[in-house]
Chain A
Amino acid sequence: MNLSQNRLAVEFRLSLVLLAAIALLPLLVTNPYWLGVLIVSMYFALLAASWNLLAGYTGQFSMAPACFAMIGGYATGLLSYHWQVGPWLGIPAAIMTAGAIGLVLGRIVMRLRGPYLALTTLSFAEIMRLVIGNSYEFTRGDLGLNVTGLFEARLAYYYLFLGVLVAAQAGTFLLMRSKAGLYLQAIRDDEVAATSRGVDVVWWKTAAFALSSAASGLAGALYGHFSQLVSPELGLLLQTGLVICMVVIGGMGSLIGPIAGAFLVYLSSEFLRQAGGIQLIVFSLLVILFARFFREGLWGLARRALARRPA
C-alpha cells in the first residue's frame, strides 16, 4: 500500500466520521436557529472543499470562491424569477453556469501565478458583484431576488446539504486517488517539472478551475434555495476571506482540514458575534499565525501529534 494513498484514505474516513457525527447532531440540536447555523456551516464547508481543490491541491490561489457561489445562486434565482424554472432544473443549471464561467476565467488566468492570479480573480469577483448589484432591471440589484424554497422542514435542508457534502468528499477522494490527483499536486509543486514529465499543465489547471467553480456554484444555488434569497452579498470579499480562513486554519491540501475548519470557524464566529464584530480580526490573526508557523493547519498538527504517540 502506498503511504500517500493511505494518508488520503485516512483523511477520507475521518471526514466521514466527522460527517456522521454531524448527521446525528439534530438529535441534540432541535432549535431551528442553531440548525440554520449548522446548515450555513455546511454551505461554507462545501465552498472550503471546492477552494481547497484549487488552492490546496493544485496551488492556484483564487480569490473568487464566494463569487462563484453568487453566480450559482443567481443562475437558479434568475431562472426561477424570470422564467419560473423549478429548482430541480435551476440547480443543475447553476452548476453548469458556474462551471462554464470558471472554464472561461480559468483559460484567461492560466498563465498567471501567485499574486497575479489572486489579483485577477479578485478583480473578476468584485466586477461580477458590482455588475449584478447594478443590473437593477434584471437582478433587482441590492434588494436581491426571492427564491423558492425546496422543503418545508429545516431538517430536510440539513440532510440535503449533508448528502451533497458527503458526495463532494467522496468525489474529491476518488479524484485525488486517480492520476488526476498526482497531476494536480505536481502542478502545485512545480509547473515546469510537471510539463517536463509530460503532464498537460494547461489542461489540468483549467479543469481544476472549472470543477472548483462548478462546486462553488452548486453550494451557492443550494444556499439560495435554503435562505430563499440571493443577493450580491453572497459574493462579498468577506465571504471569500472566511473560506480562506477555514481552509488555512483547518489544513490546506488535506481532505478533512477544510471541512473541520469550516465548522470550527463558522461556529466560533457565531459565538464571537455576541462580542461584537471582532470575528474577522480574530480569524485574520489566526490565519497569519497558521500561515507562518503551522502551514498544514490544525489537521497537520493533529497528524503530527498522532504520529509522535508511541503505537
Chain B
Amino acid sequence: MSCLAVEGLVKSFGGLRAVDNVSFAIDEGELVGLIGPNGSGKTTLLNVVSGYERPDIGRVLLDGEPIHHRKPERIAQAGLLRMFQLTRVFRRMSTLDNLLTAGRALGLAHSRAVARAEELLGELDLERVRDLDAGRLSGGQQKLLEFGCCFMVPPRIALLDEPFAAVHPTMKEIMAASIRARHAEGQTFFIVSHDMPVIVELCTRTICMNAGVVIADEETRAVLSDPIVIEAYLGGEAA
C-alpha cells in the first residue's frame, strides 16, 4: 500500500481544468519531486491533497484511507503536513512558540514539545532567534521555521511547496541536509521546486506536470531529458 495515492483527480476553476485527471502514488520512504512550468497546476494539486480545495472528481488516499473530504486540520492530524509557497508563520509569536504550537496541535505534551523544539532549533540553526517574533526573522529563516514545524512530530509524508525559493544559499543547504538526513531515516517527501539542481540532487523520482496533466513520472534524469518535458518548459518551437 502506498503512503500517498492520488487517483483520477480533477479540479476546475470556471472553464479551466487546473488539475486534469492526475494519478500517481508515492511509497513509504520515497522522495519525489514535482516540477512543471508556472501555471501547470502544481500548487492546486497540493491544495487538493492537503484539503484546502475539494476535488471535483477523484480520490486522495493517505495510507489507504480516503482523505479528500476531510478538513485541512484533520489531514494534518492524520500525518500529512505541508509548507506553503508563500511562507506562513505566526508572525507575532516567538520562533519557539511557533514550533510548540505545531507540536501541541499534534498531541505532544508540553515538556516533550519543548525538548523536540530545542532539537529542531539546533538542527536548523535557529537557536539565536529562538525568542524573537517570527515576523522579524529573515525570509530564509521563516522558511526554515515553517519547515521545522512540519517535523515536530515526524509526519507520514511532508509536502514542501517551493521550500528553496528566495532562500539564502547557506539556509538552503541547511534545509537540503535536513531533508537528506530524514530521507535516509525513511521519511517520505513530496517536493515542489523550480530549483532543478536541487531536484536532481535530492529526488530519485520526479513527476512533471503541464497544463494540469502529468506528462512524465519516472527517474529524475530520465524526466529532465524527456523531450516532452523540455518542450513544456521551453515551448513548442524549441524542441
Contact = CB atoms under 8 A, between A and B. Distances in A.
Is the pairing of A and B real? yes
Interface of A: 2-4, 179, 182-183, 185-186, 188-190, 192-201, 253
Given A4-B96, A4-B97, A198 B88 contact: no
Interface string B189-206: 000000000000000000
Nearest to A177: B110
B210 interface: no
A291 B149 CA distance: 31
A166 B82 CA distance: 42
A198 B89 contact: no
A159 B84 CA distance: 51
B110 A185 contact: no
B88 A196 contact: yes
Interface of B: 50, 52, 71-73, 76-77, 81-82, 84, 88-94, 96-97, 100-102, 104-106, 110, 114, 130-131, 146, 149
A3 B121 CA distance: 15
Q: Which secondary structure dominates where chain A touches chain B?
A: helix
Contacts of B71: 195
9 contacts: A2-B114, A4-B93, A179-B105, A185-B90, A190-B91, A192-B88, A194-B73, A195-B71, A198-B102
Contact of A182 (B52, B97, B106): B97
Given A190-B89, A193-B84, A185 B73 contact: no
Given A2-B114, A182-B104, A189-B92, A196 B97 contact: no
A201 B52 CA distance: 14
B77 A198 contact: yes
A192 B84 CA distance: 10
Contact of A189 (B76, B91, B146): B91
A198 B105 contact: yes
A6 to B, nearest CB: 9
A205 to B, nearest CB: 12
A236 to B, nearest CB: 32
B91 A186 contact: no
A196 B84 contact: yes
Contacts of A192: 52, 72, 84, 88
Given A185-B97, A198-B73, A179 B110 contact: yes
Contacts of A201: 73
Contacts of B149: 197
Contacts of B130: 3
Contacts of B146: 193
Contacts of B114: 2
Nearest to A201: B73
A21 B121 CA distance: 42
A201 B92 CA distance: 17
A186 B92 CA distance: 9
Contacts of B89: 189-190, 193
